[in-house]
Structure 1
């Protein structure tokens, strides 16, 4: 191959790949239901946790099976029904210290299904449940309140 042909071929290939990726990124099927803060949006919050009550902070990593770019601890969503996947921020799980080194049997990921309304905030946490096997954490809706 000549250098000129290789350069033209690579430029055409790069242009085709760029166009394909742009089409995928712009397609409505890939769009997340994220929106701007305001009275027409619902807020979900993963902090603060309450370790003394065995309730721990989370970050949001997926909505309806689609990845969120960068883990977030606050999201603003359009009203609707969603399956939210979280990652736990448990730093020192109950029952795990140097005297009791049993392995951690839970998973760092969990999901919760929510129906969110505009003007409301939803506080999502992970709760430690000692008698639940094999996963010891549940993702819970801790409380719902009106967005200020």
Structure 2
């Protein structure tokens, strides 16, 4: 009887060990799968972050270039308010970016709104709004 009880205890121990082994293998596979997914997502996020950083650097360079172009303009001697009569035809169209920006700076100095400047210079409303903000900052620093 002692031999039968030892073998039963041994069988239980062996079954427990096999169960633990199977559980560990299952957990290891699951962990490996999750680690792989994490690594893939991490790589994707790093790539996206790098792309966003490069975009910001590019936009920063464009803004600096823009500020340099605007900064080279002569300052007007007096600010004239636009007459609400009939609108003028723009002298410079959007085909010449530097000319359009120069014309926009002059129009802002005369008190035109961003929408009017965008229409007259062939700029997008976003460009005109950005230029209005830069122009406002430049005027407030003088």
Q: TM-score scaled to structure 1, two decimals?
A: 0.30
Who wins on radius of gyration, i.e. which is larger?
2
Larger fraction in helix: 2
Q: TM-score scaled to structure 2, two decimals?
A: 0.31
